Amino acid sequence: MLAEVVHGPIILGGGGHARVLIDTLRSAAGVVPCGVLDADESRWGQRLLDVPILGGDELLEDLIRRGLTHFLVGLGGARDNRPRRRLFELAANQGLTPMTVAHPSAVCSSWAVIGAGTVVYPTAVVNAAAELGVNVIVNTGAIVEHDCRVGDHAHVSTGATLCGAVRVGALAHVGAGATVRQGITIGEGAVVGAGAVVIDDVEPWTVVVGVPAARVLRPADHGAHHDGNAGARGPASVPAGASA
Ligand code: JB2
């Protein structure tokens, strides 16, 4: 007997972030994912909202044989975006196409450029001439002003504001409610703590918190291993104030 043909994208990672993703997909385009893959075996066979958690990432190959063509990264990855990059590459390297989605309540300028696999959550704003890379998260209520550049796999958390022409490096994380003044550069892999107000450039792979934001960890403390290799010291040592 032939295995059942799959319809809809797969979602990699099935926690809180993926719940909003499923809802956003449904609201934006009426798309129902074929399933969720999750690393936590105890959740296999359960549902995330109304979508079945089919198993782990090793199921991808079989799903592709059964017609799977699209994916989305469902992992939010507070602080450290390297696991999100790993999942994105895992699926893309198997020939799957990343879906891009914006909630209907989000405002995305037609002069903005939004990369593959990027998600824009409810009520967020992406203004004219902003450019978002691949697999970026613009989380609920965040604002990405005109002429900003947000690098691949970066995360602009809930309610954060990037004023005009801010540069956010690949894999960087801008915490919930943070404000980044116009023209500032946030380096690759840097973490801006929740509620911080950033008025100076932030070096790559450093962590800043507070008002005005000040550095709390040097690159070496934050794990300057930019490839996300196992064993890299990293965001586990980030203070609680730096969370999403
Ligand atoms: O390699 C993986 C993997 N690693 C963790 N592959 C797959 N397929 N799944 C993986 N996971 C799974 O992602 C975990 O087993 C877990 O079920 C899920 C992460 O869920 P959690 O709710 O812990 O985090 P989240 O990333 O969905 O949400 C965080 O980030 C958001 C931005 C939370 O902090 C949210 O509150 C926040 N809004």
Compute the distance between CA of residue 13 and CA of residue 72 in angstroms, rounded to an integer: 9
Nearest CA to ligand 1 atom 19: 15
**Among 78, 5, 11, which Cα is nearest to 49's?**
11
Bridge partners for 52 per DSSP: 47
146 is a catalytic site residue:
yes
Our answer on whether the CB atom of 57 is closer than 6 Å to any ligand 1 atom is yes
Closest ligand 1 atom, residue 40 Cα = 15
In the chain the domains, ranked by start, together with CATH numbers, are 10-98 (3.40.50.20), 101-213 (2.160.10.10)
Q: What is the DSSP letter of 200?
A: S
SS3 of residue 60 by DSSP:
helix
Catalytic residue among 7, 17, 103, 146: 146
Q: Is 15 in the pocket of ligand 1 (CB under 6 A)?
A: yes
Give the chain's mean pLDDT: 90
- Residues of the chain with pLDDT > 90, as a percent, come to 84
Please write the tens of the pLDDT for every residue from 38-79: 999 999 999 999 999 999 999 999 999 999 999 999 999 778
For residue range 5-33, what is the model confidence (pLDDT) as tens digits?
Answer: 889 999 999 999 999 999 999 999 899 99
Q: Does the C-beta of 37 come closer than 6 Å to ligand 1?
A: yes
Would you state the structure tokens that stand for residue 25, as one six-digit string? Answer: 């997909």
State the pLDDT at residue 148.
98
User: What DSSP letter does each residue of 143-177 carry, written as one string?
Assistant: EE-TT-EE-TT-EE-TT-EE-TT-EE-TT-EE-TT
pTM, to two decimals: 0.91
Q: Kindly report, residue by residue over 143-159, the tens digit of the pLDDT.
A: 999 999 999 999 999 99
Residue with token string 């004023």: 163
**pLDDT tens figures, 208-240:** 999 999 999 665 565 544 443 332 333 333 443
CA of 183 to the centre of ligand 1 (A): 32
The residue nearest atom 31 of ligand 1, judged by CA position, is 76
Tell me which residue has its CA closest to atom 6 in ligand 1.
39
The b-or-e profile of 204-217 (16+ CB within 10 A means b, else e) is bbbbbbeeebebbb
For residue 76, the CA-to-ligand 1 centroid distance in Å is 6
